[in-house]
Amino acid sequence: MAKAATKKAKIEKPKAKSDAYVMMLFVTFVSIVTGAVLMYLDFAGTKELGIGEDEGYSNKRAPTEPVPTALPKLGESLKLAEPPPEPKKEETMPMPEPMPEPKPEEPKKDEPKKE
């Protein structure tokens, strides 16, 4: 009977605690959901939702005008760009005349003392 009692007794293990990694998972989940919602609002626009006047990207048509290409078509000659015009020479202001040299100071005469 002693053996049967020991088998039935449960060994208590320490409970797992939430640590920094669980918090990082939560923060990551919240940021992914927030990013998905913001991307949807950017694409759909806010006009349909009644929040603002932004039409979003989903309500716009793709541009129909052709995209300009940098390379010429086969058989056409290459058009070289004209050189840029030479910059105009700016007229420089004439230099001012140099300041006159200071005159040497004359020694002051001692004034007679008043008594």
Question: Does 81 score more than 70 pLDDT?
Answer: no
Cα(83)–Cα(89) distance, integer angstroms: 18
The pLDDT score that the predictor gives to residue 65 is 78
Question: Does 84 score more than 70 pLDDT?
Answer: yes
Q: Are 45 and 59 in contact (CB under 8 A)?
A: yes
Half-sphere exposure of 28 (CA within 13 A, CB side): 6
| 68-74 mean pLDDT | 68
Report the first-to-last Cα separation within the chain, whole angstroms: 134
Of the chain, the percentage scoring pLDDT greater than 90 comes to 14
